[in-house]
A and B are shown apart, each in its own frame.
Chain A
Amino acid sequence: MRYAMAVDTRKCVGCSDCVVACQTENNVPIGFCRDWVVEVMDGTYPQLEIEIRSERCNHCVNAPCVRCCPTGASHIIDGGIILVEHSDCIGCGACMASCPYDARYPHPDGYVDKCTFCVHRIKNGLSPACVAVCPTKCLYFGDLDDPNSDVSTVLKKRKFKTLIPEAGTAPQLYFLI
């Protein structure tokens, strides 16, 4: 089992619903977030292009955050999901420094927090909160080992890219272009 997410940049309107839904679902304190939206614009008026991306932890196969964690709080579970065991986290911030995607934030209660792919939901057959809420249905989630999952299906059909592939982390967030 290998969980992954695909983000259709052609459909995303950058509304940030994924951000609010994650915050309420996971009780992320206001002022912090586990996912966010990036807008990249290119060109000169009126020859313009824009790419809008909903981003979050890439749940990398080769995850520097896990390797550098001194306490083992950052760990990988079945399906490749990377979690932080809050009780084992000493808040040292090594994982935050090692993450090429800036996907982690220091929770005010002293531990580092990040996207969990809503593991509590997927265990119950639900999709992550951001995927479930997205009004444009631009987020696809599922098991890459299952050829019929939403994410496998869309990755077979469409061109995609990953972010900062040169970091060698084998990220599992795919951006449809």
Chain B
Amino acid sequence: MASRRDFIKISAIGAGVLAVGAGAFKVIKVLSSSEEIKKLVVDLKRTPTYCEVCFWKCAGWVYKNSEGKIWKITGNDEDQHCNGRFCPRGTGGVGMYYDEDRLKSPLIRVEERGKQVFREATWDEAFELIATKMKDISSKYGPESMALFTHGSGSGYFTTLLKAYGSGNIAEPSYAQCRGPRDEAFFATFGEEAYSPEITDIRDTRCLVLIGSHIGENMHNGQVQEMSDAIDKGAVIITVDPRFSTAAGKARYWLPIKPATDMALLLAWMHEIIYNEYYDKKYVEKYCSGFEQLKAHVKDFTPEWAYGITTIKPDQIRKTAKEMADASPAVIVHPGRHVTWYGDDTQRIRAVAILNALLGSWGRRGGFYRPAKFALASFPIPAFKAPARTWQDIFPGKYPIASSPVSNALIDASVAENNPVYPVKGWFVNGTNLIFTIPNQANTLKAIQNLDLLVAIDTMPMEITGWADVVLPECTYLERYDILRVSPHRKPAIALRMPAAEPMNNTRSAYWIARELSKKLGLSGYFPFEKQEELLDWQLQKAGSSLEEMQRIGVKTFERDADDLYFAEDENVEFSTDSGKIELYSAFFEGAGFDPLPKYVAHEEPAEGFYRLIYGRAPMHTFSRTSNNPNLTDLMDENSVWVNPLVAKEWGLKSDQYIWLKNQDGIITDFSVKVRVTERIRWDSVYIIHGFGHAQKQMKRCFGRGVSDTQLITNVLVDPLMGGTGMRSNFVTFVTEKAEQEVVS
């Protein structure tokens, strides 16, 4: 296999072959810059793709060099997700392909779980073993005892497989570990979620309010681009964050809030907006219900009240409320994305939704636009038999408003002591490193030890693949077709991903893996096409295009059916809530036994000598999945712990010193982390970038670099409404010396 370094040598120099038998001088001679320039302008073959390094799924082009090897990836100008500009992760997607540590062959575990002793196997052997175990689980416990944890483009195929097999226990950690509370809160309020990409009309906004959301550090491409456009147009940015984020550095107002008190600020803003009559009266009257109840509810939540809780001065609260009102309806109180913080997250995001409703921003230019999505034809396959039992039958009555299966509930169902009504005994895990995704690692490992089958499908050896019984090596997105991308956006559009190269080593596409397994399980009727491109062509023909056309253009954008990106003046809008109105007061929540209006609840504070652990994103990494990517590791190869200078002084910590972190439950990080003494973080908190501290030795570049926040998140505040795992109530202290210890996770 050609490593990235080999590749660079060959193509940059263009003299890998010439070098043989030639003197070093001659090699250099060939490499003159003019030669290089000539080489680079050759018209190179390009193939369309959409990116899989994160969930934004930008469409772009993969270029190959004159040796036919993947060279670079750039954005497709026609694509609304990226407007021709990929983010660093997408540009560095080549590293995912060239990473020499990739999984190369199917693996079958030969020693006890977690010891990571595997033997290479053929695909057929691996499928045979999985199918036998799945049949055992089905006959012993019922097919619902198989669960799928999934993320990304492979999800659809394994979902089809699992549904055909008889289980609906299919969870995306992106729900309960990330955006779930937001989607439920917006659904309860507007009858619609905030979508992905979010329907925030940032490019035309006059005021953008970010609560803990660090756009620019989270590199959600279209949003970052639009925030930049908004800065150009002079929009007011208000950031609420205990950390001086990059976005805070661009903001007119930075409110350095005491962590875990955002709800108090949101309530005070509502108070200001209602009692100063800043709200959009016509909009509220026409579209909203429950205004009087809300008004009475927030009566006492004055800026002075909030000051005592948030440490944000009343004057700042007033000024920022006025800024929002002045910009209304071109104002966005951003719904956020990773919002699982304190266990009352659905209620907090309800407060965000209500604020937007008061400001009349939903359905308005510069607020939230109405998305349009292309409706693709689905090829007829046999109907799925409804599973006899759902995930909600496992722990009856828990998480009543969750609209998707809750990953952590399925994991809890694999631990016998939790007394599930029925157990989950088999896991398929695709494209999500559960050890780094799900908080309380001890619980996840306990669940794993209880399984009859754990199959991990990934491109990289991750922590989770180390615990698997069978590891199936997926090829990367650059080596395969996948489902057509039809995300909601301003205009409906289709994007194609096609292979730029043959799958490396013995890797295969997720589609092929799911289809071959379906054959072993006697379910091949659910995958009627041997080659995915045949299905794509069928779908594209129905859409008035063709595979051939899409291979040429990559992205096809259509006009909207009607000119309805925003609400028309006085339009009668029927919202998909029970009342057909925007529900400021949620009868739905009340009926489910929860507060119909959001309330402030005080959260636990750090003990003496402990600091709240806040984690976030770096623009060049996605979760824990890019930590070994050679191109992206080159930009950031470890995280650091941000410590306020006052705290550093007290502890005698210096920048660049390596320390360990210990949490409130006595958990000490496996690895040490570099200290970054900086004014950018509050004195009551520390901050680290998520995704580092890998204990998987097979990822040679990132093993042992930095620390894992997930390891320190043992206090999990579960949202009773929808099961989201609140992860911001963990507190850490500093350990400057630690005995050598074998890493076991």
Interface residues of A (CB under 8 A from B): 10-11, 13-17, 19-21, 23-31, 33, 41, 43-46, 48-50, 52, 83-89, 109-111, 116, 119-121, 123-124, 132-138
Q: Which residue of A lies closest to B635 (CB)?
A: A16
CA distance A27 to B63 in the complex (A): 13
Nearest CB of chain B from residue A48's CB, rounded to whole Å: 5
CA distance A29 to B31 in the complex (A): 14
Q: Are A16 and B619 in contact (CB under 8 A)?
A: yes
Q: Are A49 and B12 in contact (CB under 8 A)?
A: no
Q: Which chain B residues border A28 with CB–CB below 8 Å?
A: 12
Q: Which chain B residues border A116 with CB–CB below 8 Å?
A: 33, 37
Partner of B216, one of A13, A31, A86: A13
Q: A14-B216, A30-B4, A111-B28 are in contact. List 16 more A-B contacts (CB 8 A).
A: A13-B250, A17-B86, A24-B91, A24-B94, A26-B12, A27-B11, A27-B71, A30-B630, A45-B683, A48-B254, A86-B32, A109-B31, A110-B28, A116-B37, A133-B86, A137-B225
Known contacts A45-B644, A111-B28: A29-B679 contact under CB 8 Å: no
Q: Which chain B residues border A20 with CB–CB below 8 Å?
A: 88, 91-92, 620, 631-632, 635
CA distance A17 to B618 in the complex (A): 12
Q: Are B36 and A86 in contact (CB under 8 A)?
A: yes
B133 contacts A by Cβ under 8 Å: no
CA distance A30 to B7 in the complex (A): 11
B348 contacts A by Cβ under 8 Å: no
CA distance A17 to B58 in the complex (A): 15
Q: Which chain A residues border B216 with CB–CB below 8 Å?
A: 13-15, 136
B221 contacts A by Cβ under 8 Å: yes
Known contacts A24-B72, A24-B73, A45-B682: A19-B88 contact under CB 8 Å: yes
Q: Which chain A residues border B231 with CB–CB below 8 Å?
A: 10-11
Quick one: CB contact mask for B678-711 with A, threshold 8 Å, 1 for yes? 1111110000000000000000000000000000
Q: Are B630 and A133 in contact (CB under 8 A)?
A: no
Q: Which chain A residues border B247 with CB–CB below 8 Å?
A: 13
Nearest CB of chain A from residue B94's CB, rounded to whole Å: 6
Nearest CB of chain A from residue B209's CB, rounded to whole Å: 18
CA distance A45 to B683 in the complex (A): 9
CA distance A20 to B91 in the complex (A): 6
Q: Which chain A residues border B177 with CB–CB below 8 Å?
A: none
Nearest CB of chain A from residue B252's CB, rounded to whole Å: 12
Q: Are A13 and B91 in contact (CB under 8 A)?
A: no
How many residue pairs, one in A and one in B, have C-beta atoms under 8 Å apart? 173
CA distance A112 to B244 in the complex (A): 38
Q: State the 9 A-B residue pairs at the shortest beta-carbon distance, nearest first.
A: A27-B12, A13-B216, A15-B619, A136-B228, A50-B249, A87-B32, A24-B72, A17-B88, A46-B256
Q: Which residue of B lies closest to A134 (CB)?
A: B85
B135 contacts A by Cβ under 8 Å: no
Q: Which chain B residues border A16 with CB–CB below 8 Å?
A: 88, 619-620, 635
Q: Are B41 and A124 in contact (CB under 8 A)?
A: yes
Q: Are B224 and A135 in contact (CB under 8 A)?
A: yes
CA distance A81 to B392 in the complex (A): 66
Q: Are B24 and A41 in contact (CB under 8 A)?
A: no
Nearest CB of chain A from residue B5's CB, rounded to whole Å: 7
Nearest CB of chain B from residue A77's CB, rounded to whole Å: 10
Q: Which chain B residues border A15 with CB–CB below 8 Å?
A: 87-88, 216, 219, 224, 619-620
Q: Are B40 and A26 in contact (CB under 8 A)?
A: yes
Quick one: CB contact mask for B23-60 with A, threshold 8 Å, 1 for yes? 01001111111101110110000000000000000000
CA distance A132 to B83 in the complex (A): 11
CA distance A133 to B77 in the complex (A): 11
CA distance A138 to B225 in the complex (A): 10
CA distance A111 to B249 in the complex (A): 39
Q: Which residue of A lies closest to B27 (CB)?
A: A109
Nearest CB of chain B from residue A45's CB, rounded to whole Å: 5
